[in-house]
Amino acid sequence: MLQHFFDPTILRSYDIRGIYEKTLNKEDAFMLGFFYGITVKKKLPTKENPLIVIGMDGRLSSPILEENLNAGLEKSGCEVYRIGLGPTPMLYFASHYFEADGAIQITGSHNPKDYNGFKIVLDQNSFFGDDIQKLGKFAREGYAQTYFGFSKSVSINDQYIKKIIEPIKGINKNLVDKTVVWDCGNGASGPCVENLTKKISGNHIVLYSEVDGNFPNHHPDPTDESTLKILSDKMKEVNADIGIGFDGDGDRIGVIDKKGRPIAGDLLTAFLSNSLEINDKENQTVILDIKSSYVAYDKIISFGLNAEIGKTGHSNIKKRIKEINSPLAGEMSGHIFFADKYYGYDDALYTSIRIISLMSNNINLDKFISTLPKTYVSPEIKLYCSDKIKFQLINRLIDKVLKDYSPENVITLDGVRAKNEMGWWLIRASNTEEAIIVRFEGKSQKDQDKLLMEVKERLKNEGLTWEYS
């Protein structure tokens, strides 16, 4: 019998993630492959060898984890397509392209270099939340039978690039006078960016495209200050029209406009609403996550679309897109999802092409941002709070806020978000860290200060001190 006990800290809400050779190791990869493969076989009892696609990012531990993941899948009787090194969205694309039964990407995303993990798909849907917990329970119980599977290496890079550059077909010549700086951060998107920029008109400066799991130039996070400074400095040097950065596995985008302003994910989503080619806009809803500004919300509505605020988390948003047939969604963190002419998953490379397609039609991001009303928005603030108490704290807060605010001014689907005459504030529990997340936005500096005071007071009443984690 095969049986395994995963470190409980690696079984996260959206994926499986831990520190290599501390909380996560090659045996975990093998056992994940085996028990996931058996899970797929049970769902497809008439299929002798379910097809699973696996890929990996450029972290130093990814090759050994990929090898063991593949071995576990073979042991469960699966047929495995190994697409090798590439961004997570390429893995998602391959899953659709090959009509796979499941897919797994080995990736540490934007975490420090000693982290790694797995993003999982089953039948083109995210495998997360309860699915991951059930898999952990299944492994603890064990399974007696093994099977004979097989694997092969396949190439998908060219097909992926061909697909993601479709939005600029026929308008490529309009980009000849545009300059774009791309920062790959030595992450898995590098080779794909080198490939696609050769197929696009204009002047393209690509930084750090060589994949290096040590991330020698900066942390692979497109919202990190060091990343943005390097990108901004290069843009000034070459007088670029836009700067685009990626996280370690290419599913999150960071953007700087021509005036040197970092663009938050919610405002970028509002801008990208311009690119939707749909007839019945009044029946289409763009999704923003709970941390998003009402400026973005109102701008989307001004385009004749509906807007909805939903749960944070790429898996939650992908699920919601399918539920309401949404053409576009975006998170503050830079996960952007297109489902109008694409597959509905978060793909930073495809998003970059949609931005460039707007540029080619003289719909410029810097002009759009300059038209937006001025508000006073806080950064995303993280306050340390133990996993043991953070959700109970939020539940207590919700009860008290619902007594103080009218129900129509409170959203409780992911923490508590309250709206008043000064603006809004949000307090939620992180699903990936021992932290409470706070954000607020005022109509003036004075309003922002008052919102901060209210948030501090409410957290103080729950015994949480105001110290950044």
H or E stretch covering 71: helix 62-75
DSSP structure class, residue 373: P
Pairing of β 179-183 and β 242-246: parallel
Q: Which amino acid is present at 75?
A: K
Which tokens is 118 given? 């797995």
Q: Which of 76, 109, 232, 352 is catalytic?
A: 109
User: Helix (H, G, I), strand (E, B), or coil: what is residue 245?
Assistant: strand
Q: Is-catalytic flag, 109?
A: yes
d(CA 83, CA 97): 12
Provide the phi-psi class of 293: left if phi over 0, else alpha when psi is between -120 and 50, else beta.
Answer: beta
DSSP structure class, residue 24: B
Listed as own residue / partner, the contacts of 172-178 with beta carbons closer than 8 Å and 24 or more positions apart are 172/200, 172/201, 172/360, 173/201, 174/201, 174/360, 174/361, 175/200, 175/201, 175/202, 175/356, 175/359, 175/360, 176/201, 176/202, 177/202, 178/202, 178/203, 178/241, 178/242, 178/356, 178/359, 178/360
Tell me how many degrees the CA angle 97-102-103 measures, rounded to the nearest 5: 75
Label residue 41 exposed, middle or buried (CB < 10 Å: 0-12, 13-18, 19+). Answer: buried
Which tokens is 445 given? 């500096």
Helices and strands in the chain: count of H runs, count of E runs: 14, 22
Closest CA to 162 of 210, 113, 195: 195
Closest CA to 224 of 251, 252, 193: 252
- Catalytic center residues: 109
